[in-house]
């Protein structure tokens, strides 16, 4: 019985650790995708979301949404997890120029 309880507890800790790693990866991927898209928009590229998708893919995540408002880019990125009840973790980020005053 003690072995079963220990195994269940260790599995829960491992799943929680996987979720924390995936949340961190999703946050980082969203930030980088938003920055790539905003830089692309600032440079006048045709489709900033294409650069955001590329940055997201290179960070082992998937771009869920991408919205461009002038030079501001808002993205939502998802990362697959190994947790059965939470198969996808998503995070949002926004990037764009800041007005200097």
**Side-chain half-sphere of 33: how many Cα atoms within 13 Å?**
34
Residue 4, token pair as written in the block: 């079963």
**Residue ranges of E strands in the chain:** 62-69, 72-80, 88-95
Contact call for residues 79 and 71 (beta carbons, < 8 A): no
Tens of pLDDT along the chain (101 residues) come to 889 989 889 988 888 888 999 999 999 999 999 999 999 998 888 899 999 999 999 999 999 999 999 889 999 999 999 888 889 999 999 998 887 77
pTM of the model: 0.85
Residues whose CB falls within 8 Å of the CB of residue 84, separated by 6 or more in sequence, listed in order: none
pLDDT recorded at residue 101: 74
The torsion region of residue 66 among left (phi > 0), alpha (psi -120 to 50) and beta comes to beta
């Amino acid at each position: 019985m003690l072995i079963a309880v220990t195994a269940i507890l260790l599995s829960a800790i491992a799943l929680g650790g996987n979720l924390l790693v995936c949340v961190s990866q999703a946050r980082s991927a969203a930030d980088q995708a938003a920055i790539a898209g905003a830089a692309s928009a600032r440079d006048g590229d045709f489709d900033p979301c294409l650069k955001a998708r590329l940055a997201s893919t290179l960070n082992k995540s998937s771009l869920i949404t991408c919205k461009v408002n002038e030079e501001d880019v808002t993205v939502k990125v998802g990362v697959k997890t190994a947790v059965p009840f939470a198969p996808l973790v998503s995070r949002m980020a926004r990037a764009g120029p800041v007005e200097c005053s």
